[in-house]
């Protein structure tokens, strides 16, 4: 396991993230234009979605796929209840802030999903393409769980606003591009993969390095600005909760009989925390919550933890428990 962790830590993707983190903390003027960063994110999600769709067309619909989808949705909905209970028992966060944080940790990080698939590619460990659809399905249940557990005195959205919230979640850019590319990949299959291979596959690793450099810069700057909001107990939660989510996903993957790569991906999804889709939803659903707390936790602590320690750990565990 140590050798695998070292191999991941010394991979170009992780080292470029560390470079960005160092540059931000050292207050370097290194930056990536926002338009370029958005284009990189769009490319990575498109590439993963298209490849997942092509794999789906190749293998077809299976019972294991349905079971994995159900497990992912269940994990996304139930994890916020665990996170909320843990936060209320161990930290001084208000009930509203705890519910907002819990929603972030029930949902998933598309960037962390990109990172684990990239590392699996470097290690030549295959995973099932339908996990792209599982990732998209895990974006939203946590939001509804947070609305369920939020204190009743918290100002909530009116029915008309709730419909707008649901629509905004469903049409979130990351979900649209993931599912859209998945559908196109499924329609065109291997023919489409052959046509787009230089763009979809060959360029992926290099552009991922550039994207993670930008993520390192964002993480470092977020830590500088948001650290004052965190107590030791709240910061510890951002490390403990991914391990809890990953453990639950490992049990589900073992019960379903997923492969090594698919087990690692499901564990990573359950261990990640959203900092794109959920913050926007929480601004509408729980306006009384302090947005700086979950953002600092998910982006400043959980994301680096998963990238540097978590993902190598999840892959190592998957090698032990998967079929």
The pLDDT assigned to 323 comes to: 62
The per-residue pLDDT for 250 is: 97
**Which has the higher per-residue pLDDT, 139 or 43?**
43
Which of the 8 DSSP states describes residue 229? G
Whether 161 and 130 have beta carbons less than 8 Å apart is answered as: no
Q: Which of 39-53, 81-95, 146-160, 204-218 has the lowest mean pLDDT?
A: 146-160
207 φ, ψ (degrees, to nearest 5):
-70, -30
- Which tens digit of pLDDT belongs to each residue from 285-322? 777 887 778 878 988 889 889 988 999 999 999 999 98
| Predicted pLDDT at 318 | 95
**% the chain with pLDDT above 90:** 35
Q: What is the mean pLDDT of residues 183-197?
A: 90
> Would the pLDDT of 4 be above 60?
no
Neighbour count for residue 90 (Cβ, 10 Å) = 14
The CATH number given to 2-321 is 1.20.1530.20
Answer yes or no: is pLDDT of 155 > 60: no
Show the tokens assigned to 162: 């709730």
**DSSP line for 239-303:** HHHHHHHHHHHHHHHHHHT--HHHHHHHHHHHH---SSHHHHHHHHH-TTS-THHHHIIIIIIIH
Q: Which residue has the higher pLDDT, 211 or 105?
A: 105
When mean pLDDT is compared over 174-188, 210-224, 265-279, 281-295, the highest value belongs to 265-279
Q: How far is CA 179 from CA 13, 160, 176, 263, in A?
A: 25, 26, 5, 21
- What integer pLDDT is reported at residue 285 of this predicted model? 72
Residue 37 or 245, more confident: 245
Does residue 121 have a pLDDT over 80? yes
Mean pLDDT for the stretch of residues 224-235: 79
pLDDT at residue 174 in the model: 67
Q: What is the pLDDT of residues 130-153, one digit of tens each?
A: 898 888 788 778 888 887 887 644
> Please, where are the H alpha helices in the chain?
2-9, 12-25, 34-59, 63-90, 95-106, 110-122, 131-137, 141-149, 159-170, 173-197, 204-226, 232-256, 260-271, 277-285, 292-295, 303-305, 311-321
């Amino acid at each position: 396991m140590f050798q695998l962790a070292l191999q991941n830590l010394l991979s170009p993707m992780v080292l470029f993230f560390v470079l960005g983190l160092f540059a931000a903390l050292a207050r370097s003027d290194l930056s990536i234009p926002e338009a370029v960063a958005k284009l990189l994110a769009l490319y990575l999600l498109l590439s993963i979605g298209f490849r997942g769709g092509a794999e789906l067309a190749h293998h077809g619909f299976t019972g294991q796929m349905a079971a994995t989808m159900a497990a992912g949705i269940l994990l996304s909905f139930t994890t916020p209840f665990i996170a909320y209970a843990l936060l209320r028992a161990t930290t001084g966060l208000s009930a509203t802030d705890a519910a907002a944080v819990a929603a972030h940790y029930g949902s998933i990080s598309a960037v962390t999903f990109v990172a684990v698939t990239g590392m699996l590619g470097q290690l030549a460990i295959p995973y099932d393409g339908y996990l792209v659809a599982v990732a998209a399905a895990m974006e939203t249940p946590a939001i509804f769980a947070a609305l369920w557990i939020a204190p009743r005195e918290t100002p909530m959205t009116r029915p008309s606003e709730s419909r707008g919230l649901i629509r905004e979640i469903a049409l979130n850019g990351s979900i649209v591009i993931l599912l859209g590319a998945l559908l196109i990949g499924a329609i065109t299959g291997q023919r489409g993969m052959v046509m787009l291979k230089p763009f979809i596959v060959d360029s992926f690793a290099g552009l991922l390095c550039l994207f993670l450099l930008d993520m390192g810069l964002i993480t470092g700057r977020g830590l500088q600005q948001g650290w004052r909001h965190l107590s030791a107990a709240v910061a510890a939660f951002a490390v403990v909760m991914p391990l809890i989510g990953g453990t639950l996903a490992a049990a589900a993957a073992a019960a379903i009989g997923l492969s090594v790569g698919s087990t690692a991906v499901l564990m990573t999804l359950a261990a990640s925390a959203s900092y794109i889709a959920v913050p926007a939803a929480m601004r509408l659903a729980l306006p009384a919550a302090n947005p700086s707390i979950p953002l600092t936790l998910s982006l400043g602590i959980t994301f680096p933890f998963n990238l540097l320690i978590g993902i190598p750990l999840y892959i190592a565990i998957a090698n032990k428990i998967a079929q």
